[in-house]
Amino acid sequence: MAARCLVLRCARLWSRNSSFKPAFIRSQSMLSKEREPPNGFLFNEKPLRPGEKRQWEDWEAIWYRWWVIMIVGGGVLFYFKPDTSPNTWARQEALKRLAESSAAGIDEVDEEE
């Protein structure tokens, strides 16, 4: 009985809220006058006729050029990045200590005895 009452109460609330209409409906945005109306094509561009070339917009050449410059420049910078891994540092430090000990004439075997 309680479950039936709860379901009826939820149904009444649902129907009451679904019939509620807001006082202010925003139908247009601030820039709706400046945009082209939709024409059903992807990106609002009509298909080209055979043999016809697509004209670039003003921003496209700059956009593509800077993306190529950033990707190529990032690749060059990444290629010439200094090696800062701990393994490289430890190997260089070990080689330096070995060179110092061999220059001083200290043999590692003598130290163990």
Q: How far apart are CA 71 and CA 66, in angstroms?
A: 9
- Asked whether residue 85 is domain-assigned, the answer is yes
Q: How far apart are CA 104 and CA 83, in angstroms?
A: 30
- Asked whether residue 22 is domain-assigned, the answer is no
Q: How far apart are CA 112 and CA 65, in angstroms?
A: 65
Domain that holds residue 80: 56-99
Q: What is the pLDDT of residue 113?
A: 47
Q: pTM of the predicted model, to two decimals? A: 0.45
- Asked whether residue 108 is domain-assigned, the answer is no
- At 101-112, the pLDDT tens digits run 998 886 655 555
Tokens found for residue 22: 């807001």
Q: In total, how many domains does the chain have? A: 1
Q: What is the pLDDT of residue 61?
A: 94
Residues 6 or more apart whose CB falls under 8 angstroms from that of 39 comprise: 46
- At 60-107, the pLDDT tens digits run 999 999 999 999 999 999 999 999 999 999 999 999 999 999 988 866
